[in-house]
Structure 1
Amino acid sequence: MKHILFVFPLAAIVLVSLSVPASANNASANNVSANNANIGAQVKGEDLRAVFSNTLMVGEYQEYRDITRTYNYTEDHHADGTTDYTEGRKEEDGRWAIIGSDKICYKYPRSRYYTRTYCFFVFNVDGCYYKFTAQEMSLKRGPKNWDRWSSRAVRKGAGGSCDIPVG
């Protein structure tokens, strides 16, 4: 009987401690769902080209960039498909292109740091352009998790703004 009386309070403590993270996760999930209502449509086709062509994008990455010690970047997209990219003190000449009708892709042929092709799906939320990698996209429903954007940016001079800065 002593063991049962000891186990019962212990079980109650364990159940309470397990329910706290679960309710926190539910609150987080509710916030994500609430935020999804504010997510704009995916930018595609000629609209995607128009957003980036002859445009300086001023943006930030979700993840801190250790090599350049910043979250921030700018990328000037020229109509001829070239870019001037700046991240911290690092500057790169690149190429951009619309692939299919729904992705923007970048290459930096002379870079030792950016050594592959980088492609993104773009979503516009009140003038803030969120980029998602293919890994973060579902087949037909857009991003699997709206909080997992790779980077976001505004068109310089267009008056858009993003949420509170990451860094």
Structure 2
Amino acid sequence: MSCFLDFGISISSLDLQCTIAACLAFLYTYAMHILKYSLIFLLMLGLAFVSTQASARDGAKESAQEKAKENNDHVQMKDDALRTVFSNTVMVGEYRTYRDITKTFTYREFHTVDGTTDYKEGRKHEDGLWKIIGGDKICYKYPNSDYYTHTYCFFVYEFEGCYYKFTPSNMTLRGPRSWNSWSSRAVREGSGHSCAAAVG
């Protein structure tokens, strides 16, 4: 029996005469070569995957460490500490976004001990109420205002004498989604502190 083999390799004769056993032996040898190089390729692919996964884990670890450092730098105000910060205090602050109606970024709000506030934003002047809810949120409402018609609650974090307010929608179980997602920030009047760029 004769068989014709053309695998793109050099053979002494194009019309190779072979027995069934010789053909099978040749095919087996050729298949072993293919298997060997396939295994080498898969091994290299596996090593590349492991290396990529390790790099990703290292990156995630570094990111988590940076996040932890940021969390350690920002102190959440709670309970009596939160109440003490605002009670009998004028907060001089700014909003993250421009206030179209009042044409300003800035505000001032005096918090009395009895839970009332005197709020000024541009030409707006409102009488409000403030209270601590759940031990970790400060909430405001302005009963006589046509502009501020809801109850507004915030989580408060302090960093170098600046108090950052975050809405509940910008919070996670581990803290703010981003430290840049604050809605407003303020300092206590007369404290001498500022918020990155000075306010007030």
Say if 2:187 is the partner of 1:147: no
Match of 1:41 in 2: 75
- For 1:135, what is the secondary structure of its paired residue? helix
Deviation for aligned residue 1:36: 2.8
RMSD, matched Cα:
2.0
Q: What is the aligned residue count?
A: 135
Q: In 2, are the aligned partners of 1:39 and 1:123 still within 8 Å (CA)?
A: no
Q: Which amino acid aligns with 1:87?
A: E
Q: In 2, are the aligned partners of 1:123 and 1:130 still within 8 Å (CA)?
A: yes
Query: Distance in 2 between the 1:62 and 1:53 partners?
Result: 23
Choose 1 or 2 for highest CA Rg.
2
Match of 1:71 in 2: 105
Structure 1 unaligned spans of 5+: 1-28
Deviation for aligned residue 1:136: 0.3
Q: In 2, are the aligned partners of 1:56 and 1:77 still within 8 Å (CA)?
A: yes
Deviation for aligned residue 1:165: 5.2
Deviation for aligned residue 1:51: 0.2
Deviation for aligned residue 1:164: 1.5
Q: Which amino acid aligns with 1:158?
A: S
Q: Given the two structures, how large is their TM-score scaled by the length of structure 1? A: 0.76
Q: Which amino acid aligns with 2:143?
A: P
Q: Given the two structures, how large is their TM-score scaled by the length of structure 2? A: 0.64
Match of 1:53 among 69, 76, 87: 87
Which protein is richer in helix relative to its size? 2
Note the alpha carbon deviations across 1:9-34, whole angstroms, 9 max, x for none: xxxxxxxxxxxxxxxxxxxx9xx969
- Identical columns (%): 63
Structure 2 unaligned spans of 5+: 1-62
Deviation >6 Å, runs of 4+? none
Query: Distance in 2 between the 1:38 and 1:90 partners?
Result: 37
Note the alpha carbon deviations across 1:48-81, whole angstroms, 9 max, x for none: 0000000000000000000000000000000000
Query: Distance in 1 between the 2:193 and 2:145 partners?
Result: 30
Match of 1:112 among 128, 132, 146: 146
Instruction: Sort the Cα spacing of 1:38 and 1:69 in 2 relative to 1 into closer, same or farther, 3 A.
Output: farther
- For 1:94, what is the secondary structure of its paired residue? strand
Note the alpha carbon deviations across 1:91-128, whole angstroms, 9 max, x for none: 00000000011000000000000000000000000110
